[in-house]
Every structure is written in C-alpha cells, then in structure tokens.
Structure 1
Amino acid sequence: MDTLFHGDGQSIKSANEFPQLDFDQQHSLSQGNLVNECQFDHLFNNVTGLSKLSSHLDVNSTPCEVGDDSPVEGDYFDGVFKYLQRMLMEEDDLLDKPCMLQDCLALQAAEKSFYEVLNENQPSSPSRGRPRAGQKRDSIRELVDLRDLLTRCAHAVAIYDNWTANELLKQIRQHSSPYGDPTERLAYCFANALEARLAGMGTTLYSALTTTRASAADILRAYGAYLEICPFQRMSNIFANKSIAKQTSTVTRIHIIDFGILYGFQWPCLIHGISLRPGGPPKLRITGVDLPQPGFRPAERIEETGGRLANYARRFNVPFEFNAVAKRWDTITAEDLAIDEDEMVVVNCLPRDSVMNLIKKINPEMFVHGVLNGTYGAPFFVTRFKEALYHFSSLFDMFEATLPREDQNRSMFEKEVIGREVMNVIACEGTERIERPDSYKQWQVRNQRAGFKQLPLNSEIMREIRAKVKSYYNKDFLIDADGAWMLQGWKGRVIYALSCWKPAGL
C-alpha cells in the first residue's frame, strides 16, 4: 500500500492534524523560553537532555569551519531534538501506541503478555531500588563471577541439561539486578533470555516485550536520553546527511529511499540544511520503507512519519513529497519506489541480503550503508551467546559511565530496547531470530560481490565528527577509520560502521 504526501499543505491530511509552532516559537523553545521550558520539563518528567543538549550544540546558523579546507555545511545538530519534542508534546496518542523503534514482529503477537507467567514462580530479585553500598554485599560480589555463571548456563542450555541450567539461573538471579552495576544489569537481562529459551517461549516473550510493556512515548523519551549521551546514531546521521548533501549539491531534485525509516529522525537535519542552499532548496522526495502493521491500515505508521516530515519541510520552505511503502523488504520491487529519470536517487539503510539486489536495480547515485558491527549472528548457540555477552556488556558499561543508575530513561532503554534485542538473539531461532548482525568487514566483501564500489571517506566530515565527539561526549567513545569505513565504538570495541557506495558501473 503506497501513500503520497506533498509538502505544499494542500494534499496532506495527517500533517495538518499536528498543531504548528512558527520558527521563532521553536527557536525560543531550544534557547530557554521560560514558559515553553516549564511545559517541556513537566511533559518529560524533568528528564535532562533534550533541551540541554540543543542549547550547547546549536550550530544552526552558520557553516562549521573544519581545518583549512572549504567549510562543511552546518549539521543543524538540534533538529532531531526539536522534531522529537514536537512529537511528544503534540501527539497524545503516543501513550497508547507501541513504539516503531521495536521490531514489527511484535505487532503480530497475541495481546496477552506471558512474561509474568514465566516469572511468577521465581523468587523475587534483590536490589529493587539502587543497590546500597555495603561491605557484606561487596564481599559476596567478589566471590561471584556472573559472566562465568552465564556462560556455564548457556552450555547447559545448549545440551538440554535443564537441571543444571536452572540451578545456575538460581545463582544468577541471586546476584543480578536491573538496578545494579553494569554486570548485574547485564546478567539480569541475559538470565531472562536464557529462562525464556529453556521454557521454549522465546518468540512469545520477545513479542510481548514490545506489545504490552511500554508506550511509544515512554520509549521515545528513553531514546532521547540515549541520543544525548551516546553519539552513535547522531554521528551516523551527520555522516550520512553530509555525504548526501555533498553528492547532491548541484541537483534540483533529490529522491532518498530509506529502508527502515521508522520515525524519520535522520531527516530533519538534512531538510534544514538544504533549505539554506543559495538559489533555494532542491525538491526533496523521500520514500519511506518499513514493515507493514497488521490490520486494515498496514502503512499507517509510515504515513504518520511522512506527515511529520512534511510539516517540518513546510516550516523551512523545502518542496517535499513522501511516498510510504509498507511491505516486507524481500517483496518490494523497483516499481514500488516510483523513481523518476530526472531525479538523483540516494539509498539509505542498514541492509539485509534481501535488499542488495533491489538496490542494484535502483542504480542509485549513492548508497549510504550503516552496519551494526557484531559477530553474534552465528548459528551455533554457545558461540552466539559468548559474542552477544561481549557486545552487550559494552552497552551496559557505556550507560554506567554516562547516566546515573537510578535514571528512569536508562532503565527503560536497557529493558525495552536492549532487553528485547537480547531476548531475540538468545531465545529465538530460525526465521524468528531477526537480530543477525555481521561485521563491517563481512559486508565489505558482500557489497563488492554484489557489484558495488566503495567511495572514499570525506576528510572534512571525518574531522568534524571527531571534533564533535571529543567536545561533547565521554572520552571513551571512539571515532576511527578503516579504509573507507567510519568506525564508532566504546573503549576500543567497534559497534557501528558506515560507508558510502555506488554501483560499480557508474
């Protein structure tokens, strides 16, 4: 099902449903207008971050000078926060909706949550509040290696030694907590997934975690806090947007095809940037592709994203169209994307194998490839478990260094986003296991075999991103390069990688 939105205000119903602030009102919100800040703080339950970050990262008005080379366009750093603020302030129905950041498999699950059923016979976990420091607890912790217990439990699960697995789980439960230190929180999360695998309820619980436990508004607030303390998503967006802007700097029509668009958080910054081009902005068309939701309106959530982006484009006088495509990615054809010959086409996605052939048929001027750099996609359970334990321990450690343990948004993100991913990786198998990351080096070979040529990194963009991460984020975040890949990570571990490609024939 496809739906076309126009940014002229005439043929877009859902965009007009959102009340508008003019640009001056918007600007005052990020600059500290007292009335708007009070309303905002009340809505966000006094969460720090979204307004605070926009105030010290506001580079909207001028280009950013980088080194001695030509200036790089401003990245309009706070655009995503304004966009997210408006969603949470104006869309009351987000309290009743599931979150698009979570996988669409959950939308096809039964309404009933089996999470409580699984845990109703388990002893209550210790440390329901922030753990108290104490000599007794510290001495106990020294005697317990939770990672070793988790790995031994995974071995027992793999050979169907349920008695041993359950005994180990009892020990893990005694010393783990969703409110403890990073290792305790990690163990609590992985214990849930191991228990679900033992009970044969992995898919049920994976789905229930998204359908019944938190509203879209709750998770989006947590996502906003994540954006503040972690540069991964925002630096990825800057890398992609600046690469797209440079590639399309002289054209009058741009068509971006975004596989997995979700809420469209990447595009407000790009819209603001192209609005300031000398001679006026180009016409921007975005085709948002995502999985359909069940029911009579499979494209409804993608259409809502189109409405929000059309509203944003209208405020900056950018001619805009949005095409919503709600299909499984392996069923999409080039015809669904309605490509015109006189527009420059750019593809943006974290692709799967099923999409690579389609991208080749699209023949885009540029393909921006983002990779979750992980090796926990292995078919063998114990190998996958160990790699997942290593990967996710970095994320829990990152939160420990950047947010207080009692922070509600941290707990929400760890439970509803990381916990869901771990549940899928550990407790699901076959076609139900969606989380199957590969390393960027594996994608390097795969892309080349598929007929794509890698484009070199832009040194200006890399210098600017390095400077931003150094200035605004924890010192343990890393920005590096390997060949033509930009790498992002934590304490030496590469977590995300990005690069730009084009069909080898172009």
Structure 2
Amino acid sequence: MLMEEDVEERNCMFQESLALEATEKLFYDIIREKYLPPDDQYTAPFIEENSGNPDENGSIDFSSYSRNATSDGNCVELGRNFDVGEYKSPHVAPQPTCQSSFSSSSSAKRVPNIFNDSPNNVVDKVKKQHADKYFRDGWRGKKNSHPWDLESKEERSSKQAEMFDRVLLCGPEEDENALRETWQNETTKTLQQDGQSKGSGKSHGRKKGGKKDLVDFRSLLTLCAQAVAADDRTSANKQLRQIRQHASSMGDGMQRLAHYFANSLEARLAGSGAQMYEAITTKASAANVLKIYHLLIVVSPFVKVTNFFSNKSIAEVAEKSERLHVIDFGILYGFSWPSLIQRLSSRPGGPPKLRITGIDLPEPGFRSAERLEETGRRLADYAKCFNVPFEFNALAQKFETVQIEDLKLDNDEVLAVRSRYRFRNLPDETVVAESPRDSVLTLIRKMNPDVFIHAIVNAACDTPFFMTRFREALFHYSALFDMLEENVPRNILERMLLEREVYGQEIMNIIACEGLERIERPETYKQWQVRNERIGFRQLPLDQEVVEEAKEWVKSCLHKDFIIDEDGQWLRLGWKGRITYAMSSWKPAC
C-alpha cells in the first residue's frame, strides 16, 4: 500500500462506495424517480500464490517488494517471527525458512509471546532511529517527506515495505511500549496542567478574566439535541452558539467530542445530513487507514485482542485439516490475515492450503473489485513468504446480495466465517421489510461453518427514536474520545485522523441521517445474541487460554482503565465502565 504512487489521493474503498450510493440516491430524488440500490456483483478470479506477474491492466504485483522468495517459497530478504506482536527487520541475515513460535514461556512469568515477543536487535542503529522517528511523527501526506528521500527507489521501497510490515504485523513490542510510555507521560503532563477532572463530562472552556470556566458539554449537547428534535430552531441555534464558543477539534477530549456532535446537530437542523456525510466521507485515503490502524494497535486492546481471538479460534478448528477456507465479510485491506498466515505456517505437520474469500462493497467505475484484488495480491505475497499454499477470491458486492453459489464451498474444507465490526452497517427490519441482517446470518447458517466469529461495536444506536439514539451515541463516543485523551497527546496526527475520518464521520451519520441514508447502526452484544439465536446459531464457549492471555497483556501493557472481561460467552472490551466492543464464536445449532 505504501508503495502505490497515488495512495494519498485514493479514498478508502468502504467510504468511497457509500458516498457513491448516497450520490446516486440524491440524483434519483432530484428527478423524482425511485432509487434502486445497485445489485451488480463482481467476482474476481482466484488469486493464487504463484500468480506473481502484473496483469494486462497493469495491476501491481506485491511479491516483488522486498519480500522475495526462492522457488521453494523460502524467504531470503525478510526474516519474520510474529503473530500479533513480534517483528523482525529485513536487515536480519537471511533465514532458511519463515519460522515462527507461539508457545508461551514456562520458565519465566511474562506476558505470553503471542502479544509480547521481542525482535532480534540487529537493525542498523541509524536506520532504526530514522524508522522510529518516522513512526512517532506519523506518515506525511506529501512525497519527499520521508527520512530517506534522497535514496534510490529500490531502497525506499524496501524501507517502506518494512514500515508496512511493522504496522500490519504490529511491530516490535519494545517500540510499542516505548511509544505508549512517551505518549502517556506527555498526556499526563497536559492533563495535570489543565487540572482536568477525569470522567466528569466537563471540559475547560476559554479563559475569561484569567480564569477558565468549566463547560458541561454533555448537558449543553443534550439540550441542543432536544431543541433540534422539537424543531425549536431559536433554542437550538442558541445552544449551538454556546457550544461553538468552547468546542474545538484541536482541544481536549470533550472539546473535540463537542465539536463533532455540534457539526452533526447543525447538519440535522439544516436537513443536510446526507449531503454533509457524503462530503466528509470522500476525504479519507487508504494511507490514513493504515495510520489509524497503527494508532489503535499501540494505545488500545481493540485491534490486537480482536485479531488474536479470531486467529486463535480459526487455527484451532483447522488444527488437523489439510484445507482451510476463511470467508471475511468486510475484509477491506485484509490487515488481520498476515498474522493468521504466519500462525498456520508453524503448524506441526505443515500448513493447510488456505483459501480466503474477501467480501466488501464494490468500488465505482468499471473495475469494482480492484481494491479487493490488491488486497488478495498482498496476502498472496505473505503466503508465499511463509510457504503457505494460498488462494484468494474477491467478491465485490453488498453482503446481503451474496449467494451461496458465489462462495464455491467445498465439503473437504474446514470453513470459518468472520465479521469484524461490519455487520453494524447492515439495515435491519426497521428500514427494510426483509432484514438484510437476518438474510446474511441465514446465509452463514446455510454455509454450515465450523466456526462463525462475530465481533461487534457495542452501542444501542440502531433505534429509530432520535433522542434515545443521541444519548447512546454520546455515551459511546465520550468513552472513545476520553480513551484517546488519556493515552495519546493532542497534537498526534494519527489521533486527529481517527477522530475526524472515523469517529467524526460515524457521529455525523448516526445523528444527522435517517432511513437508508443512516448506515451506522450498531447494536449491543445482547441484541446480537438474541438475533443470532433466533436465526439458528448456538454460542461456543470462550477459550479461557485466550481470555487469560489477553487480560494479562492488557494489564501489563495498557492503561489501567481499559476493560476486558466476559459475559455470557462474549469477550468484552471497553474503557472506564463502558463496554465498546464485544466478540464471540458460534456454530449452526443443527
């Protein structure tokens, strides 16, 4: 991804597809015709591990980027030994094979190495200092901003590939720990200087007469939302003006939260929610997704624990199988799968033949599956490096339009299905008579998978009642913004990107949009429990080894206010008493 010439100008494929659909619907509204969402599907051919040359359309082949392999699949430039938390530099002497180890050390009390293994310290010091500075400062949006600008294209590509691997495979734990400590120290100093009360829901406003007035943003936002709901424009505008006096996208956590909620309330009041959401969703680039992913890896358990839970569950059901088929609803850029490939490569008796079917929304234009195909090529490159037989099938279509014939199921394969936070974007029965949520779950049950891994955003924001939805969104995003405030300095680029291009867009959609235009529809894990059981799934017990390892890692490496616990076979993650994410595994009941 980092080597693609136009990476900064290319939008995130998820947001770009949604923006296209919103534009089409707006056009149909103008000409007063009924809008019918496109049902076109594009099924890309299998991408196998030996499909290494550019195709006739000039698609990029990632197998040539600094991860070269010999004819028998052994890596000669990149030595790796990591699942979720370990990294080895490409400057390590050539290794005969891509080996890996996952067993926890029994000789010392330490965080299990699934999260905390350390790399061999053989990286050239000068280059490593450049790389570390590159991570701490964030990726720049312009070319010629890297510390190796004057180097050759080949050298730059090699180092960019190294940086990509460090993020994608979660980098060296020492670097992450050092970065967490630096950020937390800087953040603590800032909070002490401000004299901010933790968890109060109040934030400092602007100075008046040499003192700062405390502003209760939650109360102000709630009063403003009530005025908007009642279409009391005078009162709503008065509240908005008061909020705007103190809110800021560059301020503390509550000021930033108030800024994005005020934007959303103002758009709802003006009746321009769909247009505003469309405008802001077209700005996210693929490179920014990687920056945000790296931030979440470093400061929270949300990404690492979810990936660990998913990969461990899949590896266990495929422990003795010769063939494994993984179907990923919402694969996006496939960031979580290289660690599974590495895990499978270390399996006693050799790895299985791995087939991944990646499903995601089609892109606008004639090549609707282009981004998915690029994801497949990247994963094929990792599979070649780790000597894992691999195929990739891209399905560029809406989840609810997928047919079981599209998936090319084979009874001789172990089948694993995963949804990682993306079912929240499916409409339900309050919007469409035939609920797409139930349709997709029914399809998964018909597949009869060996395991269905379901990770969800835990927030009751799917209600059609505006004030109920508003309060739930306010509590949910207050926890997320407060988590960032206490763990990440305010001037970090990745934090601002996460708040603006993820949380800010989600808030805009939840607050300012209605009907089919509202695509952010998270439910609580208890609501998903009822829905899954109604469709015909039974919940599988949690793996206590996974739970204990994850708890120990969070306790050892992260802020004390992070939550990780269990409830009814759901593994729950959250911050300061607020559960924000949950995951569990399922099988068809019969």
Distance in 2 (CA, whole Å) between partners of 1:330 and 1:133 is: 46
Distance in 2 (CA, whole Å) between partners of 1:320 and 1:377 is: 38
Are the structure 2 counterparts of residues 297 and 377 from structure 1 closer, same or farther at C-alpha, using a change threshold of 3 Å? same
Distance in 1 (CA, whole Å) between partners of 2:579 and 2:209 is: 33
Q: Superposition pairs for residues 475-494 of structure 1, below 5 Å?
A: 475-494=560-579
Asked whether the 8 Å contact 1:156–1:162 carries over to 2, the reply is: yes
Q: Which residue of 2 aligns with 1:197?
A: 268
1:375 aligns with 2:481: no
1:28 to 81, 89, 92: 89
* Post-superposition CA distance 1:368-393 (Å, at most 9, x none): 01111101221111111111001100
* Post-superposition CA distance 1:63-114 (Å, at most 9, x none): xxxxxxxxxxxxxxx96724589xxxxxxxxxxxxxxxxxxxxxxxxxxxxx
Q: Superposition pairs for residues 75-474 of structure 1, below 5 Å?
A: 81-82=167-168, 136=208, 139-142=211-214, 144-212=215-283, 214-349=284-419, 350=421, 351=423, 352=426, 353=437, 354-474=439-559
**Matched residue SS, 1:141:** strand
Asked whether the 8 Å contact 2:169–2:339 carries over to 1, the reply is: no
Amino acid at match of 1:166: N
Amino acid at match of 2:577: G
1:40 to 123, 131, 134: 131
Distance in 2 (CA, whole Å) between partners of 1:80 and 1:484 is: 32
Asked whether the 8 Å contact 2:459–2:476 carries over to 1, the reply is: yes
Asked whether the 8 Å contact 1:7–1:320 carries over to 2, the reply is: yes
Name structure 1 gaps, 5 residues minimum.
Answer: 49-77, 86-130
Are the structure 2 counterparts of residues 42 and 296 from structure 1 closer, same or farther at C-alpha, using a change threshold of 3 Å? farther
Shift of 1:8: 2.4
Q: Which moved more, 1:362-371 or 1:343-352?
A: 343-352
**Matched residue SS, 2:538:** strand
* Post-superposition CA distance 1:228-268 (Å, at most 9, x none): 10111210110111011111101010000000001111111
Percent of aligned positions that are identical: 50
Distance in 1 (CA, whole Å) between partners of 2:238 and 2:533 is: 48
Amino acid at match of 1:147: R
Q: What's the C-alpha RMSD, in Å, of the aligned pairs? A: 2.4
Distance in 2 (CA, whole Å) between partners of 1:12 and 1:491 is: 49
Distance in 1 (CA, whole Å) between partners of 2:252 and 2:451 is: 43
Asked whether the 8 Å contact 1:79–1:269 carries over to 2, the reply is: no
Amino acid at match of 2:66: Q
Asked whether the 8 Å contact 2:360–2:399 carries over to 1, the reply is: yes
Are the structure 2 counterparts of residues 430 and 174 from structure 1 closer, same or farther at C-alpha, using a change threshold of 3 Å? same
Amino acid at match of 2:233: N
Shift of 1:195: 1.1
Are the structure 2 counterparts of residues 265 and 44 from structure 1 closer, same or farther at C-alpha, using a change threshold of 3 Å? same
Distance in 1 (CA, whole Å) between partners of 2:267 and 2:64 is: 41
Distance in 2 (CA, whole Å) between partners of 1:434 and 1:503 is: 27
Distance in 1 (CA, whole Å) between partners of 2:131 and 2:166 is: 16
Shift of 1:27: 2.0
Shift of 1:222: 2.9
Structure with the higher helix share, 1 or 2: 1
TM-score by length of 1: 0.80
Amino acid at match of 1:303: E
Name structure 2 gaps, 5 residues minimum.
Answer: 1-41, 68-76, 81-86, 91-118, 140-163, 172-202, 427-436
1:2 aligns with 2:43: yes
* Post-superposition CA distance 1:109-130 (Å, at most 9, x none): xxxxxxxxxxxxxxxxxxxxxx
Are the structure 2 counterparts of residues 8 and 35 from structure 1 closer, same or farther at C-alpha, using a change threshold of 3 Å? farther
Report the number of matched residues: 429
Q: Which residue of 2 aligns with 1:19?
A: 65
Distance in 2 (CA, whole Å) between partners of 1:330 and 1:184 is: 39
**Matched residue SS, 2:89:** helix
Asked whether the 8 Å contact 1:292–1:298 carries over to 2, the reply is: yes
Q: Which residue of 2 aligns with 1:495?
A: 580
